[in-house]
Structure 1
Amino acid sequence: MTLIEIDKARYRKHLNQVIVACVIALTAISLGVAQLLIYLFPDADGSHFHWNLSGVVVACLIIAGVLKKYKSHSFMTEVSYVWDLKQALNKITRKMSKLKQAAANGEVEAMTAIQYSYAGSRQLWQLDDNTITMDDLALWQSELDALASKYQVEIRAENYHESILDKY
C-alpha cells in the first residue's frame, strides 16, 4: 500500500458522517429487528434479551455489508484509505520486534518496513490530531536513521510492500 497525502478536513468530515450514519443505522435497525422478532415470537416471561441481541447482530451485519459495498465510492476514499493503512500498520506492528532485530543486523527490508510504519503512523497521528506520541516517533525515527547510516543504506517508505513481512 502506497502512502498518499489526503485532505485532513475532508477526511474528518467524511469520517464523522460515516460514524453518525453507522450509529443511527445500528440503533434503527437493531431496534426494528428486535421489535419485529418480539412481535412475531413473544416470550411469556417478558425476557427479550436474545431478540435484542439478534437485532444488534443483524444490524452489524447489514452495516458491515453496506460499508464493504461502498468502500470504493468516492465519498469513502479518505476513510477507506485510513482503514486500509491502519490494517497495514497493524500487520507491521505484530512483527515489529523481529523487524527491529533484523534491522539491527543491517537488513534493509526490515528497515524499509519500519520506515513505512513510522511514516504511516506519523500520517495517521496527524490526521487524528494525536500529537502526544509524536516526540516518541521522532526518537524512534532517529534511531532508525542511525541504523541506516551505520549500514550505509537508504531506506524509503515507498519501497515497502507487504510481502516483506513474510520473512519475519
Structure 2
Amino acid sequence: MKLIDIDKKRYKKHLNLVSVALVIGLSVLSLAFGALLIAAFGSNGSEGITGEGPTGNFHLNLLGVILAAVICVMVMIRVKDTPFMTEVYYVWRLKALHNRIYRRLKAIKAAAKNQDLNALIILNYYYESLKQVYFLDNNTLTMSKVEKDITELHHTIAEHNLTVSLEQFDDEMLKDFN
C-alpha cells in the first residue's frame, strides 16, 4: 500500500460525516427492524406484564440490531470506493495494515537489529505511516515517540550504508515475520 497525501481538513470532515451517518443509520435501522420484528413475531407485552420486567422480545431486538449492522456494512462496502470515501477508506486500510505490522513488530525489530533489509523497510514504512495517521487524527501525544523512532531508524540505516525508501514496502514482506 503506497502512502498518499491526504487533505487533513477534508479527511476530518468526511470522517465525521461517515461516523454520524453510521451512528444514525444503525440507531434508526435497529429501532425499525426491532419494532417490525416485534410487531410480526413478538409476544404481546400486555399479557401479564405490569409495566416492569422483560417482555420476552430481547432476541427480536437483538436480531434487529444485527440486521441493521449488516445493512450498514453492506452500504459501507458499496460506497467505500466513491470519491467521498477516498480519504476515510485509505486511513481505515492503513490502520488495518498497522495492526498487521504491530502483531509482528517484535520479530521485525529483532530482525532490524541484525540489519535485515526487509525489516528495516517495514519499520520505515510503519513509522512514516503512523506519523501520517497521527497527524490526521491530531494525536499529538505520541507523535514525539514516532519522531524519535524515525530518527533512530534513519540513523541505523545510515550507519550501515543502506538505502531504504517507502516505495520499497510491500505488505507481502510481512509473511517473513511471525
Calculate the TM-score normalised by the size of structure 2.
Answer: 0.91
Give, in angstroms, the shift of residue 150 of structure 1: 2.6
Contact 1:71 1:77 in 2 (8 A): yes
Cα separation, 2, equivalents of 1:128 and 1:72: 21
Aligned to 1:29: 29
Contact 1:103 1:147 in 2 (8 A): no
Cα deviations across residues 120-163 of structure 1 (Å, max 9, x unaligned)? 10000000000100111122112212221232102112210011
Aligned to 1:158: 167
Aligned to 2:176: 167
Cα separation, 1, equivalents of 2:23 and 2:42: 27
Larger Rg: 2
Cα separation, 1, equivalents of 2:42 and 2:92: 41
Considering only aligned residues, what root-mean-square deviation do their CA atoms show, in Å?
Answer: 1.1
Aligned to 1:113: 122
Contact 1:34 1:52 in 2 (8 A): yes
| Worse-matched range after superposition: 38-47 or 156-165 | 38-47
Q: SS of the counterpart of 1:112?
A: helix
Calculate the TM-score normalised by the size of structure 1.
Answer: 0.96
| Structure 1: gaps spanning 5 or more residues | none
- Percent identical: 39
After TM superposition, which residue ranges in structure 1, 4 or more long, deviate above 6 angstroms?
Answer: none
Contact 1:112 1:156 in 2 (8 A): yes
**1:73-84 alignment to 2 at 5 Å?**
73-84=82-93
Give, in angstroms, the shift of residue 95 of structure 1: 0.7
Cα separation, 1, equivalents of 2:100 and 2:58: 37
Q: SS of the counterpart of 1:47?
A: coil
